[in-house]
Amino acid sequence: MTDLSTDYLGLHLRSPIVASAGPLTGDPEAARRIADAGAGAVVLPSLFEEEILHEEVGLNEALEAGSEHFAEALDYFPAVQRFENAADRYLALVRATKTMVDVPVIASLNATSTGSWVRYARLLEEAGADAIELNLYHVAATADRTAADIEDADVAVVSDVGDALAIPLAVKLSPYYSAFANFAGQVVGAGAAGLVLFNRFYQPDVDLESRDVVARLELSHQSELRLPLRWIAILRPQLGAGVSLAATSGIHSGTDVAKALLVGADVAMMTSALLRNGADHTRIVEGQLTAWMTSNGYESVDQLRGSLSYSAAGDPSAFERANYLKTLHSWSAPYGLTPSSPSGGMQQ
């Protein structure tokens, strides 16, 4: 029997296939189906501080509407001592999912203010989350803040949240930090037990008819896995086996999971594949991974993990600049053109 068990954030998982944050994991019944199909853990959708604040502001505005014009308006509604907001619903989701699945439940947090990171992280731990994934999602759009300013602030958040928790902390990062390997080391030094690579920034689009900026959600493609593959391979020997690494973005099949494990990931996370194919797709991915491992002589995930990382690869430079030149020369010109012809050349 192929042993698919792995350790992630100090948690022992029966499989390296993890359902990452998405609409399906926000439904306890769907999360149960994903777990029953073989997932090693589920990551809940993010709790967004902005959503909590939006609801609170909206309620206050509704209750105060007209009160400045008519004295009797003060008696329209009784005093509201407390109302259920997004945070309450999220904590209920954590508790409900814990009762539905037999695998670790990882809560996801995306806040904006320093105090909220710590406050909500503690609440998630109290609700029963087995670990917390901090989602450091923001766009560095302020011209008067340097890269060092932003990195220092992010590291401080990780340190504050890590100090406040007794459960493991993972940090989900974007690839856009100026010296990523150095920053990853700082995040681990600040208390992160693991890194999730990478966050997908959803880019806005422009509607030419309405002339509005609009949201366009596109599910991931397998080609997006190449970026986390590169960085996990580079970071694995630098951070050591004691730091958990999760690959996310572009995981759609069992062979994608195998690639992530080969370069040093402890788990591979997927959302888009589940949205396209349903919760039971986990079972198919697990079968593909097991078949690939068996046909290639791997008996366990431990044996497979990191066997193609930067330090183990026959040509480590393939993960760096040398791969750039090789990739350009690997292009095959269509329609009879040759790379040396004026219309078929590759240009930067």
| pLDDT bracket for residue 164 (50, 70, 90) | very high
Which tens digits make up the pLDDT trace of 122-157? 999 999 999 999 998 777 778 999 999 999 999 999
SS3 323: helix
Which tens digits make up the pLDDT trace of 73-109? 555 555 555 567 888 999 999 999 999 999 999 999 9
Which tens digits make up the pLDDT trace of 26-71? 999 999 999 999 999 999 999 988 777 654 444 454 445 555 555 5
Distance (Å, rounded) from C-alpha 191 to C-alpha 189? Answer: 5
The pair phi, psi for residue 79, each rounded to 5°, is: -60, 135
Strand bridging mode 194-197 / 267-270: unpaired
Task: Write down all domains in the chain, each with its CATH number in brackets.
Answer: 6-312 (3.20.20.70), 314-348 (no CATH)
* Tokens linked to 334: 């269509």
Q: What angle do CA 191, 196, 202 make, to 5 degrees?
A: 125
Nearest CA-CA partner of 15 in 93, 104, 100, 92:
104
Q: Are 301 and 254 in contact (CB under 8 A)?
A: no
SS3 18: strand
Averaged confidence pLDDT in the chain: 86
Distance (Å, rounded) from C-alpha 139 to C-alpha 282? Answer: 32
191 phi-psi bin (left φ>0, alpha ψ -120 to 50, beta other): left
Considering the entire predicted model, what is its pTM?
Answer: 0.83
**Residue 261 host element (H or E):** helix 254-263
Residue 318 is classified by DSSP as G
Q: What angle do CA 135, 136, 141 make, to 5 degrees?
A: 145
Nearest CA-CA partner of 272 in 307, 314, 225, 336:
225
